[in-house]
Amino acid sequence: MGEAPPLETQNLGHSFGELDALSDLSLMVAAGECVVLLGANGSGKSTAVRTVSGLLEPTRGSVRVCGHDPHSEPDGESARALLALVPDSPLLYADLSVREHLGLVVAAHGVADADDRIDWLLERMGIAARADFQPTQLSRGMRQKTQLACAFVRPASLLVLDEPVVGLDPPSQLLLREMLFEAKAAGTGVLMTTHQLPFVAGLADRALLLQDGEVVSSGAFDEVAAYVADLGWSEA
């Protein structure tokens, strides 16, 4: 048997009381593949991301990150080491600078040549001049760049990004696309949610459209994007 894929879910679901926020999500993200979750607000995209990442417990079904269950120890620790999450709102420590955030991540993951890696990434993402700033001193876009830098500064078999372009200006969006293409080329699986179809056009291999927690369309990205257009939605 070959290696386990970066992500595989089987009939994954999560309920908030009587509300089924996510129902029977079965998907696989292969190495070097980008899969996008589309859907209107409240469709279940963020619930899916949080359940995949171990932040929400599944009500039913299963999730595996490179064969490891993020919800049970000791598998959970292995899954978290292989998965890099960018949440829909930056989650940063108020008393740590940008550089200290990256230093914490590289220390936790044993990144080689950590200082050089941090310096290079700060420059590439255009936040070197604010490396010693704390989150309260940063704009929304700079906080988002910091969160993205925390994901890219360490090795990961799976990148999970929830609305990653929110707060980013057009040049920063182009840079993020470039970095995601590079991650795919290196064999990293990518799971992403977005309302911005142009951002993922050409980047995403497959897409799933969610509505009321259920998958209503899935397949090649271009096919699902065409289906969304036929619905008359300006954004998914």
Residue 158: name the closest of 29, 45, 57 by CA.
29
pLDDT-based confidence at residue 235 (cuts at 50, 70, 90): low
pLDDT in tens, 70-100: 999 888 899 989 999 999 999 999 999 999 9
pLDDT of 161-210, one tens digit each? 999 999 999 999 999 999 999 999 999 999 999 999 999 999 999 999 99
CB count within 10 Å of CB 132 equals 10
Residue 75 has a pLDDT of 87
The set of residues, in sequence order, having a beta carbon less than 8 Å from that of 210 and lying 6+ positions away, is 22, 37, 38, 39, 43, 44, 45, 48, 216
> Nearest Cα to 126, choosing from 183, 177, 172?
172
Cα–Cα dist 63/5, whole Å:
11
Split at pLDDT 50, 70, 90, the class of 38 is: very high
Phi-psi region of 187 (alpha: psi -120 to 50; beta: other; left: phi over 0): left
Share of the chain above pLDDT 70, in %: 97
Q: How much is the pLDDT for 1? A: 43
pLDDT for the residue numbered 129: 97
- Nearest of 47, 40, 87, 43 to residue 63 by alpha carbon: 47
The mean pLDDT of the chain is 94
Q: According to the model, what pLDDT value does residue 2 have?
A: 62
